Amino acid sequence: MKCAGCGVALQTVEPDLEGYIPESVLISRTESKEPVYCQRCFKLKHYGVLPSKLTGKIDFKDIKQYLDLTDNVILVIDVFDFNGTATKEVIEKLKSKRTHYVVNKIDLIPQEISRNELIKWSKESLNVDSSKIYLVSSKKRSGINRLLKRLSDEKEKTFLLMGMTNVGKSSLINALKSEDRITVSEYPGTTMKTLKIYDEKHDITFIDTPGLSTNNRMTDSLPLECQKKITPRKKLKVYTINAKKNRSIFIGGFVKLTVKGDSGANSPILNIITSENTTVHETDPEKATKKWNEWFGTLLVPPCQNRNLEQYPWKKIDDELFTGEELNISGLGWLSVARGPARVYIRFLSDLKLTKRQGLVGPTTFK
Ligand SMILES: Nc1nc2c(ncn2[C@@H]2O[C@H](COP(=O)(O)OP(=O)(O)OP(=O)(O)O)[C@@H](O)[C@H]2O)c(=O)[nH]1
Ligand SMILES: [Mg+2]
């Protein structure tokens, strides 16, 4: 028998191992015909704690065994980290499948960015027809009915949900089923094994999967508690910086960006879009260099505790960004150039994936 929350096989012998449930609980839940959850899922649901050893992930090299389960795939993408969760290699792998692309968590997007812009942008980024793209918020249940209608129209009605960890695959199935059955959490790695969920009303079967593991998103370099802390819950914050003189901008402690200023009317204007718990701090470049280590993990979050900068590997790039261009920083947010060109010097954690892209929206003016 499998845990209804994360898919592991249940066992009543080893409390520290996956799938554990006390025998008495297993018996009473089975007798009352209620969904049965392992102790880990119970604790996650009710107390929000996750033992770090009990997480599930899929290695990209093992993706085939999941794709062999069915021809219909729903790829779930996190709009907060589009480039980090819709990677070229995953998109390529899904080319031979009937794939629906769900861009999830759109409730996080600032209101200045319109739905049409998002659709157009997703279509160009994914290079697929817009009829296959769905903008969804599993949390607010928006966009769910259109998706359900389209899935119901398919001949083959078993759908495999795939995507990186934490993009909201399990939340999406819960939203599609209008119930709260599968365990979801802010921790990447919540779903441990595949889980089949049958929707009687629409005669559809969903297969939830553990997330594909990544190693270049911000969360991958942080302990669980800090990963949880920087996961956005509310609308993303927009910080606008007008660089009339040289400025250094920290996005958390892991990205220091120095913009070459211009005292004239063409000074570069940058918008930094990030989660409510990530610090964005602007200062003069000399102070930034002097104080970085002291501020790292105190004023500048993430990290969530003071650490020594030197214990991390760093990388440097410099680039010229033009009006409308953006730089996606996997799992931390993105930077959008409202007025360019902007000469930028960036020092960042070398494990972070930075992707230059054509703007998610044009040079938007945020309020
Ligand atoms: N703001 C927002 N958060 C969401 C949405 N959907 C999911 N989340 C949050 O994203 C986090 C991860 O959700 P899960 O459904 O557990 O994600 P998952 O892809 O199944 O993750 P794994 O099982 O770890 O691979 C949770 O904190 C959810 O509350 C959404 O539409 N909007
Ligand atoms: Mg899950």
pLDDT digits (tens, 9 = 90+) for 115-134: 888 998 899 899 999 999 99
Q: What residue's CA is closest to ligand 1, atom 13?
A: 168
Residue 200's pLDDT band (boundaries 50, 70, 90)? very high
- In testing the pocket of ligand 1, which one of 57, 171, 233, 237 has its CB within 8 Å of the most ligand atoms? 171
Q: Which domains does the chain have, with CATH numbers?
A: 1-51 (no CATH), 55-214 (3.40.50.300), 230-358 (no CATH)
Tokens 């409390």 identify what position? 15
**For residue 361, what pLDDT is reported?**
65
> How much is the pTM?
0.94
Q: Does the C-beta of 104 come closer than 6 Å to ligand 1? A: yes
Q: Which ligand is nearest to the CA of 75?
A: 1
DSSP state of 236: P
By C-alpha distance, which of 230, 223, 225, 233 is closest to 171? 233
pLDDT digits (tens, 9 = 90+) for 306-332: 999 999 999 999 999 999 999 999 999
Q: How far is CA 252 from CA 243, 255, 264, 276, 355, in A?
A: 19, 6, 29, 11, 18
- Sequential DSSP letters for 281-331: EEE-HHHHHHHHHHHBTTTB-SSSS---GGGS-EEEEEEEE-TTEEEEETT
Cα-to-centroid distance, 44 and ligand 1 (Å): 14
pLDDT digits (tens, 9 = 90+) for 238-262: 999 999 999 999 999 999 999 999 9
Cα 269 to the center of its chain, rounded Å: 26
Rounded Cα gap, residues 367 and 193, in angstroms: 44
Rounded Cα gap, residues 225 and 32, in angstroms: 35
On the question of pLDDT at 55 being above 90, the answer is no
